[in-house]
Amino acid sequence: MRAAASERPRRVWGEGVFAGRAQGDGRGRAAPSAAWFVVSLGALGTWLVVSLGALGACSEGSLEVDGLADAGQTRDSGEGEVGEVEVGAADAGERDLGVEEEPEPEVPEACEAGVRCGAECVDLSADPLNCGLCSRTCVVASAQASCEGGECAVGRCQAGFLDVDGAVANGCEVEDNCEAGAACEASCGSAGAMACEGGAGRCVPPGEVCNGVDDNCDGACDEGGLGGCRAGVHRAHGDGHLYTTDLGAAGRSPFRLESQDYFFIYAQPVPGTRPLFLCRKGDGKRFLTSDTACEMAGGVEAQLGFWAPEGSCGAVPLYRLYHEPTSNHFYTLSAPERDNARDNLGYRDEGIGGYVWRSR
């Protein structure tokens, strides 16, 4: 080290300064005297001592500049390897310079399943315990976290919690108290089932069935032409009036069909209904009643179905009138027709015979 440092100034001085003056410059100038040579050697010795003392133990390839040795910093002379930085110089081994080397980023070693994290071979794109980086563990509130594409994800919510907003930061943020399918009472009083969405529940009414009530809460009762629910009653006129579910009989002489499906009644009994009988009197005239004894005026010819004593389930009144001179019974849904029969045709208004329906 010292030999290398001392050779450079000696090479410069011997060839540049000393050799040039000993030979003269070729332009008549005198060679240096013996006294100058002695002084020069003395000065050279002094310079070498001072320089070597200051340089201390500089390594080969490094050159101290601007007194940086005292600060413990060195700068590469350009003669060493590219990128090499020498730290410490002579004083570095004697005091703590406070300079720490930054650790090199750890590059995981590749393995069959992905990369090696410690003793395990993991998939950084899907391992919630090593998601994106080794030992980067995914923790998501109220959920079993997952790792998707190297990013933490909600995975699966814990029981009783829901992820409504889809944000990973708050995990499964909604507490779910809704029990899907649980029995409940719909807004119209029917027996519904709970439907849950986003932690909120609502009672979903059932579908409409033939039962005399509004099941689906649409405001209509037994609507939609439910199969086998209501039957049409036809209106005919001939030997008096005939009301029957038998369309053939309504058009058979002596009767003429006035209105097919004039009104509807239930084919089977539902709550709030009562039987509707077609009675035939001794004179052959017919009338409608719920009395199995046909009001002591004849016998039951047929049970047509079921009507209602009150206007439930959307039923409408069926007005009953009687023409005593001809023993004729007349039923109508129309108040004006009722009034006309009463006022102009000699019928007696017997009030509302019962309630029936305008649709199947």
Closer Cβ to Ca ion, 211 or 328, answer by number:
211
Closer Cβ to Ca ion, 224 or 317, answer by number:
224
Question: Least separation, in Å, of the C-beta of 223 and Ca ion?
Answer: 5
Question: Least separation, in Å, of the C-beta of 272 and Ca ion?
Answer: 11
Question: Least separation, in Å, of the C-beta of 287 and Ca ion?
Answer: 30
Calculate the alpha carbon distances from 358 to 16, 118, 251 in Å.
130, 81, 21
Question: Least separation, in Å, of the C-beta of 180 and Ca ion?
Answer: 24
Question: Least separation, in Å, of the C-beta of 225 and Ca ion?
Answer: 12
**CA 247 to CA 236: how far, in whole Å?**
9
Closer Cβ to Ca ion, 173 or 215, answer by number:
215
Residues 208 and 216 sit within 8 Å (Cβ to Cβ): yes
Q: Which class for 347: exposed (0-12), middle (13-18), buried (19 or more C-beta within 10 A)?
A: buried
List, in sequence order, every beta strand (DSSP E) within 291-347.
Answer: 299-307, 316-323, 328-332
Question: Least separation, in Å, of the C-beta of 229 and Ca ion?
Answer: 8
| 357 contributes a contact to Ca ion by CB under 5 A | no
From 322, 338, 318, select the one nearest 262 (Cα to Cα): 318
| 273 contributes a contact to Ca ion by CB under 5 A | no
Closer Cβ to Ca ion, 187 or 334, answer by number:
187
Neighbours of 238 (CB within 10 A): 15
Residues 232 and 256 sit within 8 Å (Cβ to Cβ): no
Under rule CB under 5 A, which residues in 183-242 are in contact with Ca ion? Answer: 208, 211, 214-216, 218, 220, 222
| 176 contributes a contact to Ca ion by CB under 5 A | no
**CA 335 to CA 266: how far, in whole Å?**
23
The CA-CA-CA angle for residues 347, 350, 354, to 5°, reads: 125
Closer Cβ to Ca ion, 211 or 332, answer by number:
211
3-state SS assignment for residue 231: strand
Question: Least separation, in Å, of the C-beta of 189 and Ca ion?
Answer: 11
Closer Cβ to Ca ion, 74 or 216, answer by number:
216
Neighbours of 119 (CB within 10 A): 5
From 127, 105, 101, select the one nearest 114 (Cα to Cα): 127
Handedness of CA 219, 224, 230, 234 (dihedral sign): positive
- How many residues bind Ca ion (CB under 5 A)? The answer is 8
**CA 116 to CA 124: how far, in whole Å?**
9
Closer Cβ to Ca ion, 312 or 327, answer by number:
312
What mask, x for binding Ca ion by CB under 5 A, covers residues 308 to 337? ------------------------------
Question: Least separation, in Å, of the C-beta of 231 and Ca ion?
Answer: 16
**CA 101 to CA 316: how far, in whole Å?**
96
Closer Cβ to Ca ion, 163 or 215, answer by number:
215
| 62 contributes a contact to Ca ion by CB under 5 A | no
Footprint of Ca ion (CB under 5 A): 208, 211, 214-216, 218, 220, 222
